[in-house]
C-alpha cells in the first residue's frame, strides 16, 4: 500500500529529500505522497526512507490504497523505465 502523511506533518522537508521515487510533494499546509509514485521503497531500501527520517511520525500506511509487494516492485520497475 502507498503511504500517506497525516495532519501532524510539520512540513520540515526531511521526507521529500529522502524519497527515491520523488513521490512526496509540498502541499498546503502539509506534504502529500503521490500514491502512483510511492513504492514504500520496495526494491530500494529495507524500509520506507520517509518514515525513518520523519521527526513527528506522521507518515502512515494508506488503508485505502493497498498493494502487494509484487505490485510495489512492478511500480518501481516502471518508474525506473520512465527515468
Domain boundaries of the chain, sorted by first residue: 3-82
Distance CA 64, CA 12 (A): 25
Is 5 strand, coil or helix? Answer: strand
First-to-last alpha carbon distance for the chain, in angstroms, is 22
CB atoms within 10 A of CB 20: 14
Stated pTM of the model: 0.89
CATH architecture observed for domain 3-82: 2-Layer Sandwich (3.30)
Quick one: pLDDT at residue 35? 94
Quick one: pLDDT at residue 2? 85
* pLDDT digit string, tens, across residues 34-81: 999 999 999 899 999 999 999 999 999 999 999 999 999 999 999 988
Amino acid at each position: 500500500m502507498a503511504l500517506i502523511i497525516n495532519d501532524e506533518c510539520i512540513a520540515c522537508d526531511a521526507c521529500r529529500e529522502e524519497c527515491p521515487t520523488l513521490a512526496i510533494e509540498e502541499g498546503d499546509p502539509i506534504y502529500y505522497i503521490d500514491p502512483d509514485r510511492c513504492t514504500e521503497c520496495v526494491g530500494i531500501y529495507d524500509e520506507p526512507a520517509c518514515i525513518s527520517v520523519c521527526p513527528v511520525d506522521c507518515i502512515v500506511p494508506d488503508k485505502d490504497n493497498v498493494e502487494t509487494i509484487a505490485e510495489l516492485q512492478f511500480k518501481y520497475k516502471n518508474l525506473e523505465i520512465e527515468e
